[in-house]
Structure 1
Amino acid sequence: MKRAVVNLGGSTASEAALGEWIAALAGSTLPLVIVPGGGRFANEVRDAQKSMGFSDKAAHAMAILAMDQFGHVILDRDDRLAPARSLQDMERALRGRKIPVWLPSSLAIPAPDIRASWDMTSDALAAWLAGKLGAHALLLVKQTAAFSSGDDVASLTARGIVDAGFAAMLPAGVDFHLAGPHDATIAGAMLSSGKLPGTLISRSVAAVRKTG
Structure 2
Amino acid sequence: MDWLVKIGGSLFPENAAELLKSLEGTGVAVVCGGGDFADRVRYYDRISGFSESAAHDSAILCMDITGRLLSDLCESAVPVRTLGECREVVGSGLTPVILPSELLRFTDPVEHSWRVTSDSLSLIIAHMLGAKLLIATDVDGIYTERPPASDAKLINEISAKNLLSFGETSVDEALPELLIKLKTDCYVANGKFPERVLSILRAGASEVICTVIRGD
Q: TM-score when scaled to structure 1?
A: 0.81
Is 2:37 the partner of 1:38? no
Uncovered stretches (5+) of structure 1, i.e. residues with no partner: 208-212
Q: 1:81, CA displacement in angstroms?
A: 0.7
Q: 1:38, CA displacement in angstroms?
A: 0.7
Equivalence for 1:162: 171
Q: 1:79, CA displacement in angstroms?
A: 1.3
CA 151–53 in structure 1, closer or farther in 2 if over 3 Å, else same: same
Is 2:102 the partner of 1:91? no
Following superposition of structure 1 onto structure 2, how do residues 58-207 of structure 1 map, counting pairs within 5 Å? 58-135=54-131, 137-145=132-140, 146=143, 147-153=154-160, 154-155=162-163, 157-170=166-179, 171-172=182-183, 174-180=184-190, 184-187=193-196, 190=199, 194-195=202-203, 199=210, 201-203=212-214
Secondary structure of the 1:144 match is coil
What is the identity, as a one-letter code, of the residue corresponding to 1:139? L
Contact 1:6 1:33 (C-alpha < 8 Å) held by counterparts: yes
CA 202–48 in structure 1, closer or farther in 2 if over 3 Å, else same: closer
CA 20–150 in structure 1, closer or farther in 2 if over 3 Å, else same: same
Q: Which has the higher contact order (CA 8 A, sep 6+)?
A: 1
Provide the identity percentage.
28
Q: 1:167, CA displacement in angstroms?
A: 2.0
Between the two proteins, the alignment pairs up a number of residues equal to 197
What is the identity, as a one-letter code, of the residue corresponding to 2:69? V
Q: 1:119, CA displacement in angstroms?
A: 1.6
Moved more, 149-158 or 93-102: 149-158
Q: 1:187, CA displacement in angstroms?
A: 4.2
Equivalence for 1:22: 20
Q: 1:152, CA displacement in angstroms?
A: 3.5
Q: TM-score when scaled to structure 2?
A: 0.80
Q: 1:112, CA displacement in angstroms?
A: 4.4
CA 35–60 in structure 1, closer or farther in 2 if over 3 Å, else same: same
RMSD: 2.5
